[in-house]
């Protein structure tokens, strides 16, 4: 599985359609979960709701701020969506069905995750406005404290596979999935997913306590692109979690790609449910917990994986 297994043209179509359909489903599922948690009836309008809302947002007149960094403001959502595509491109969606299941798969994935920090920070920085800037800084402080978690759990998953390729990591889970073999890995990776997509307890970027935070000054198409890119990033990270910890396409009876889709959906629903069920943590408390509790746990995960692999 060393080479690119899908041609360039089909690869672009594949990634773009998975991300676009996935992002729309994320919006639908989010509405369903909200209705369930709020005890309201789930109406059919949840299916068309995101489209109507997107059209309304895109048609609204764009407003701007004084002396913004226009290039960065427009580029940040594009870069964030591009990084979601980069992260998804190294994740195999079925046996041999990866856009670029490169030998350094999890390193590329980690690079996309790190660059996402830059995109989110610059998105807060670009409008030249106080609250988005505060959100950007706050996010960087939190992001630097969870960044190591994801590196540790991904490397721990690579140990039994003896490869950095995500395809090889999936293949190595034939006897037993990593979620059983390395029980600490998936929960920690879910925390990272919540952080990168600022969802649920880690919804500290575009949060109501900063009047919308990083997206406070966004309007029109830029706002739509940012929301869509966030959902796309959630899809990419859910797919990676499914591949690395839940055995990816492995499973009985059903075709491999269906298993992959089901597992990805399960991860995405879990993260989205945290949005409606868990309170937001205060950033300073999370940073404290991340360095003193979660990082040692991630290290233990890596150490146990190393000992088991010996």
Note the residues at the interface with another protein (CB under 8 A). Answer: 2, 67, 102-104, 107-108, 110-111, 113-115, 117-118, 121-122, 125, 128, 137, 140, 143-144, 147, 164
Nearer to another protein by Cβ, of 162 and 209: the residue is 162
Instruction: Give the per-residue SS3 of 29-89.
Output: HHHHHHHHHHCCCCCCHHHHHHHHHHHHHHHCCCCCCCCCCHHHHHHHHHHHHHHHHHHHH
Q: Closest separation between CB of residue 292 and another protein, Å?
A: 16
Q: Closest separation between CB of residue 117 and another protein, Å?
A: 6
| Cα separation, 123 vs 76, whole angstroms | 5
Q: Closest separation between CB of residue 30 and another protein, Å?
A: 29
Nearer to another protein by Cβ, of 138 and 275: the residue is 138
Nearer to another protein by Cβ, of 122 and 272: the residue is 122
Report DSSP state, residue 210.
G
Nearer to another protein by Cβ, of 24 and 121: the residue is 121
Q: Closest separation between CB of residue 80 and another protein, Å?
A: 14
Residues 6 or more apart whose CB falls under 8 angstroms from that of 132 comprise 123, 124, 125, 126, 210, 213, 214, 215, 216, 217
Length reported for the chain: 310
| Cα separation, 40 vs 34, whole angstroms | 8
Q: Closest separation between CB of residue 102 and another protein, Å?
A: 7
| Cα separation, 81 vs 20, whole angstroms | 10
| Six token digits for residue 124 | 């807060």
Q: Closest separation between CB of residue 271 and another protein, Å?
A: 22
Phi-psi region of 214 (alpha: psi -120 to 50; beta: other; left: phi over 0): alpha
Nearer to another protein by Cβ, of 81 and 119: the residue is 119
Q: Closest separation between CB of residue 190 and another protein, Å?
A: 20
Do the beta carbons of residue 207 and residue 279 sit within 8 Å?
Answer: no
User: How far lies 250's CA from each of 195, 244, 265, in Å?
Assistant: 27, 11, 15
Q: Closest separation between CB of residue 249 and another protein, Å?
A: 23
Nearer to another protein by Cβ, of 87 and 203: the residue is 87
Do the beta carbons of residue 226 and residue 299 sit within 8 Å?
Answer: no
Nearer to another protein by Cβ, of 83 and 261: the residue is 83
Nearer to another protein by Cβ, of 102 and 202: the residue is 102
Do the beta carbons of residue 157 and residue 185 sit within 8 Å?
Answer: yes
Q: Closest separation between CB of residue 40 and another protein, Å?
A: 41
Convert 248-273 to b/e letters by CB count within 10 Å (16 or more is b): bbbbeeeebeebbbebbbebbbbbbb
Number of Cβ atoms within 10 Å of the Cβ of 48? 10
Nearer to another protein by Cβ, of 111 and 281: the residue is 111
């Amino acid at each position: 599985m060393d080479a690119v297994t899908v041609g360039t043209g089909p690869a672009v179509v594949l990634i773009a359609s998975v991300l676009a359909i996935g992002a729309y489903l994320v919006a639908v599922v989010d509405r369903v979960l909200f209705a369930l948690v709020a005890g309201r009836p789930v109406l059919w309008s949840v299916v068309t709701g995101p489209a109507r809302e997107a059209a309304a947002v895109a048609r609204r007149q764009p407003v701007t701020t004084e002396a913004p960094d226009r290039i960065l403001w427009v580029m940040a959502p594009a870069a964030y969506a591009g990084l979601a595509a980069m992260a998804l491109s190294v994740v195999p969606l079925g046996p041999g069905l990866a856009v670029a299941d490169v030998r350094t798969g999890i390193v590329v994935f980690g690079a996309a995750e790190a660059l996402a920090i830059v995109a989110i920070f610059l998105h807060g920085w670009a409008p030249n406005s106080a609250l988005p800037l505060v959100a950007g800084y706050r996010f960087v402080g939190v992001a630097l404290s969870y960044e190591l978690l994801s590196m540790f759990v991904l490397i721990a998953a690579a140990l039994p596979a003896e490869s950095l390729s995500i395809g090889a990591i999936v293949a190595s889970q034939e006897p037993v999935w990593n979620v059983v073999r390395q029980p600490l890995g998936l929960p920690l990776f879910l925390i990272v997913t919540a952080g990168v997509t600022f969802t649920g307890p880690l919804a500290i970027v575009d949060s109501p306590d900063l009047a919308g935070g990083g997206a406070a000054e966004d309007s029109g198409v830029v706002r739509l692109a940012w929301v869509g890119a966030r959902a796309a990033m959630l899809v990419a990270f859910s797919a990676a979690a499914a591949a690395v910890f839940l055995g990816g396409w492995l499973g009985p009876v059903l075709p491999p790609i269906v298993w992959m889709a089901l597992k990805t959906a399960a991860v995405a629903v879990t993260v989205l449910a945290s949005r409606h069920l868990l309170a937001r943590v205060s950033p300073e408390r999370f940073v404290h917990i991340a360095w003193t509790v979660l990082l040692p746990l991630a290290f233990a995960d890596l150490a146990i994986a190393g000992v088991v692999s010996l």
